[in-house]
Chain A
Amino acid sequence: MTRFSAGERVLVRDDYPPGHVRTPVYLRGKTGEVLRFFGEFDNAEVVSSGLKGPRKGVYKVRFRAVDLWDDYNGPARDAVEADIYEHWLEKIA
């Protein structure tokens, strides 16, 4: 059921489809670490159009601030954590 496990490194798809997308632009194309699996949820991208579709796994992913911003002014342990739908995540080989 879960495609990713805690501790795994993942890449957020660098994709810009139209519509109601819950993956913030500032995280697209960035790599992070899976912290936990939250379960399966309605896919907001589909539900927002009044449609039905399969539920999607949602993962809590931690992104180091220094990996997000080239000029980040703070300790390397600082991080942003976001909840990402599984179809936005790719394994890093």
Chain B
Amino acid sequence: MSGDHDHDHDHHGHDHDHDHPHAPPQPDDKVHSYYQILGVALKELLIEKGVVEAAEVRRQIERRDSITPANGSKVVAKAWTDPAFRARLFADGNSAVAELGFEMTTTKLVAVENTPSEHNVVVCTLCSCYPRDLLGLPPSWYKSRAYRARIVREPRAVLAEFGTRVPDDVAVRVHDSTADMRFLVVPMRPEGTQGLREDELAALVTRDSMVGVAVARAPER
């Protein structure tokens, strides 16, 4: 990592000559919160009791981390270009995304469409429900108390803070994910994208546009 250091890294004593004042901070130096400690304790107990294996926990974390918003972008781009797929996506989200190889089984995927008269935005005021199986882990702001409290109370002000101004003749629909449904916003297809391929369209579909705090990116001219 620090290739400019020529001292021996096999020992951890501090008696050798340092060209930096102290060791760089490590990611695990932070203080863990009560709930983080509770989580670790629970995991260790489950492993100790033989309910789960450490490798299984690791595999699941690895699988979770491999899911990215690019999956959702492909879904939206296909819905933009294939009317039959679009109809299937709105009728049954889980089956439609399964056609593209995305497995979503524990929650019901509900696609909601932005139109010239409606803008959709998603929240979970209770916790942090999010279409994780399709988009991966939610951004930290999505889990923040400020976003969760304010998006239902003053959605237009929050959207403006994200740089998204919704005109007064467009209704804002805030979807509070309070049960087993997970919402995917299908943003409006930007102007000037007629000639683009599906993969080029997918590049315009950002994570935030699928949560509804932004619109899809405009194509480069």
Contact B180 A58 (CB under 8 A): yes
Name the residue on A nearest B123 (C-beta).
Answer: A80
| Contacts between the two chains (Cβ within 8 Å), count | 72
A49 touches B (CB below 8 Å): no
Q: Given A58, A65, A69, A74, which contacts B179 in the complex, CB threshold below 8 Å? A: A58
Encode contact with A along B92-135: 1 for CB under 8 Å, 0 otherwise. 00000000000000001010000000000000011000000000
Tell me whether A22 and B181 are in contact in the complex, defined as CB-CB below 8 angstroms, given that A73-B154, A74-B156, A77-B171 are known contacts.
no
Name the residue on B nearest A79 (C-beta).
Answer: B173
Contact A22 B174 (CB under 8 A): no
B70 touches A (CB below 8 Å): no
Alpha-carbon distance between A77 and B110 when the two chains are bound, in angstroms: 21
| Closest CB in chain B relative to A32 CB, distance in Å | 12
Contact B174 A80 (CB under 8 A): yes
Residues of B within 8 A of A (CB): 108, 110, 125-126, 152-157, 168-169, 171-181
Sample of 21 A–B contacts (CB below 8 Å): A24-B178, A38-B108, A38-B110, A38-B179, A39-B108, A41-B180, A65-B172, A65-B174, A73-B157, A74-B155, A74-B156, A77-B171, A80-B176, A81-B173, A81-B175, A82-B176, A82-B178, A83-B176, A83-B179, A83-B181, A85-B179
